[in-house]
Structure 1
Amino acid sequence: MIDKLAALAYFAGWRIVRVLPHKWAYGLFEKLAKYLVKRDGKGVARLRSNLSRIKPGLSEADMDALLRQAMSSYLRYWCDTFRIQDWSASQIQESVTLTRGELLLDPMREGRGVVIALPHSGNWDHAGAYFCSLGIPLVTVAERLKPEALFQRFLRYRQAMGFEVLAIDSRSFATLIKRALEKRLIALVADRDLSASGIDVNFFGFPARMPAGPALLAIKTGIPLVVAHVSYTQNGIHIEFTSVDVSEDGSESERVAQMTQRMASLFEKGIAAHPQDWHMLQRIWTDGDFKENS
């Protein structure tokens, strides 16, 4: 019953935010960001802790300022998410700028698939909507949310923008292989995987785990692996693409580990340049106070 009531409240809020004037909607979410920082709940505390690792040495005042910017960016993500389904294709396209977009667009024009790996930065749904608006078929995966009604709502929302969304299960990787060979764009948010199958990486000088999927897809299908970093601009988002070299030496598991570390290092570069847009309110490192049960 609690889950059902929470879902109903969420859906009601989603509906209201869609119809509010632009200034009112974003003003409301900015106030909510300030409230959440002041309340300093578990997610905000984790974000502060994460930011302290990517920006060590900041004074308390500077860290407080960065935290406020990060929560403002995070709530902007949610406001965008609620409203983007009502944007026109031209509005979406005009709100996106690219650096080295040819790393994605050229292979797609040549009839090849591409694996895009992203951190939890900026608005990845906005980026996906942009490429779908260009007629590029996009496939991604999603963890099942609770309650189930909320998961189904997000599923329909992304499908309406043109995404094919696969639930993470034992069959999803085989389907991704098939879609890659069908010359699709495979987009995977890939800066966190604390499961036993996660690949150990060095991330900002500390141990973390990230998913093997992006590197493994590139190795098994021969399609390019590209890191995309999404950051906010005044009027939308900017996406910067960087190619990840495919390892040729060693066993498959060694090659996956090498490529995943390269991916992690590129994530570092983008996140360090735009720390306020990294929406990581969960545990990501695996040492110290970031231990398994934290």
Structure 2
Amino acid sequence: MRDALVEFAYRSGWSLVRRMPEGVAASLFQRLADRTWRANGGGVRQLRENLRRVTDGRLNEEELELLVRDGMRSYLRYWMEAFRLPTLSQQDVLRRFEMHGFEPVAKASRAGRGSVVALPHSGNWDLAGAWVGAQGLQLSTVAERLKPEGVFQRFLDYRRELGMNIIPLTGGARSPQTELADCLAKGDVVALVADRNLSSGGVEVDFFGHKALFPSGPALLAARANVPLYAAHIFYAEDRAVCYLSEEIPVAGPGRLRQRVATATQQVADHFARGIAEHPQDWHMLQRFWPDLNVRAMERMSARGDQTGAHTEAAPGSTDAPGSFPLSEDSSDQGSQERPVRDNTADENGSTNTGRTTEDLT
């Protein structure tokens, strides 16, 4: 029953919101964002702590609350634009999106050599994909299966309407890594949302002064396919979204593949951090991100501590959410390294959580 209601809500959103005048839709979603912020559900509480860490004590509590509110407005703006994006003309897409640093990617793609672009959950990456298509280039990505299935299929249809080549994470005739390698060989731009590790493995990076796990997939895929790797950051600027690409991040060269992937992944994280620090309100991270910053676990343990009179601290949480995009290294190329990658190397992956879950607002 719940799945049917969720699917109905999504379908209604796509049907109704795209028919509204844009100003009416924007006002409606801003009011919804403010109501969700005031309701202070689990996603909002987690966003608050994530942003508290990003801003590193520079904001007082009132300023932090305004940032959280603006973060929810940015997040709901993404949804409003997602519902309306298929109705935009190519000229509208070009007018609403501003790209910087894309020339090397476009040049390589037109010469038949693909590129891997890693990006965080920020701004509107669907609009970025539509913009790439408007340049006459093919963008390919992987979609994690969502529940209910009807919502997942609607997301597939939606992104394909925008001209993207969508590879299901599971259930395909071939593995996603094989499909992506073929896409790169044809000159596609492969975009992977890569700031949230959804597997039991990953590369340990420093992110805003704390340890976090990032997926190794983007760097590993680029290294194996011998194509360039870039990191992107997208944010909103009034009536448009803006994207800055990094310089090419080296993945080739001497040394073990494992070490090169770890070094490149840290560089991806550094680029993300610079963008998020400048535009924290546009980082849509309503889920647990740092292992030691799990709001719901901390609240549960605090409640138990209140009941027993004992002092408690939140234990680091394990990486959650099903679904992985395995890009494991050959055993012959495994070895120790200075920057640790979790020992279960066979599970190292690049998670590609390109679809939002239906629990983001809870």
TM-score by length of 1: 0.96
Is 2:15 the partner of 1:15?
A: yes
Q: How does 1:154-165 map to 2 (within 5 A)?
A: 154-165=155-166
Q: Which residue of 1 aligns with 2:220?
A: 216
- Quote the Cα distance in structure 1 between the aligned partners of 2:236 and 2:45: 23
1:200-223 deviation line (CA, Å, top 9, x unaligned):
111111111111111011111111
Residue 70 of structure 1 corresponds to 71
Matching residue of 1:33: 33
Q: Distance in 1 between matches of 2:155 and 2:222?
A: 27
CA contact (8 A) 1:99 1:241 kept: yes
- Find runs of 4+ consecutive structure 1 residues off by over 3 angstroms: none
Do the aligned partners of 1:17 and 1:79 also contact (CA within 8 Å) in 2?
A: yes
Structure 2 residues without counterparts, runs of 5 or longer = 296-315, 321-362
Q: What pairs with 1:258-277 in structure 2 (closer than 5 Å)?
A: 258-277=263-282
The letter for the 2-side match of 1:109 is: R
The residue type paired with residue 48 of structure 1 is R
Q: Pick the structure with greater CA Rg.
A: 2
CA distance, structure 2, for counterparts of residue 277 and residue 145 of structure 1 = 23
Q: Which residue of 2 aligns with 1:49?
A: 49
CA deviations on 1:145-165 (whole Å, 9 max, x unpaired) are 100000000000001111111
Q: Give the secondary-structure state (helix, strand or coil) at the position aligned to 1:19.
A: coil
For 2:182 and 2:107, locate their aligned partners in 1 and report how far apart those are by CA, in whole Å: 21
Kindly report which structure 2 residues correspond to 1:138-177, keeping only aligned pairs within 5 A, or say none. 138-169=139-170, 171-177=175-181
Instruction: Say which of 234, 237, 244 aligns to 2:238.
Output: 234
Contact 1:103 1:241 in 2 (8 A): no
Cα deviation code 1:233-269 (max 9, x no counterpart): 1121111011212252321111111111111111101
Q: Is the 8 A contact 1:103 1:226 kept in 2?
A: no
Identity of aligned residues (%): 43
Letter in 1 for 2:66: A
Kept in 2: contact 1:30–1:72 (CA 8 A): yes
Partners of 2:88 and 2:293 in 1: CA distance: 44
Residue 187 (structure 1) aligned with residue 212 (structure 2): no
Q: Deviations over 1:97-134 (max 9, x none)?
A: 12222132221233211101100010000000011122
- SS state at 2:267 partner: helix
One-letter amino acid of the structure 1 residue matched with residue 275 of structure 2? G
Determine whether 1:178 maps to 2:203: no
- The CA deviation string for residues 156-206 of structure 1, in whole angstroms up to 9 with x for no partner, is 000111111112238111211111111111000000114123221111111
Amino acid of the residue matched to residue 52 of structure 2? S
3-state SS of 1:52 partner:
helix
State the distance in 2 between where 1:288 and 1:92 align: 37
Deviations 1:22-75 (A, max 9, x none): 111000000001001100001100110110111011100110111111111101
Distance 1:109 1:172 in 2: 23
Could you say which residue in structure 2 is the equivalent of 1:85? 86
Distance verdict in 2 for CA 1:137–1:8, change over 3 Å = same
Q: Please tell me the root mean square deviation across aligned C-alpha atoms, in Å.
A: 1.5
Map 1:86-125 → 2, pairs under 5 A:
86-125=87-126
Matched pairs, number: 294
Distance 1:36 1:43 in 2: 10
Instruction: Return 5+ residue gaps in structure 1 as ranges.
Output: none
Match of 2:258 in 1: 253
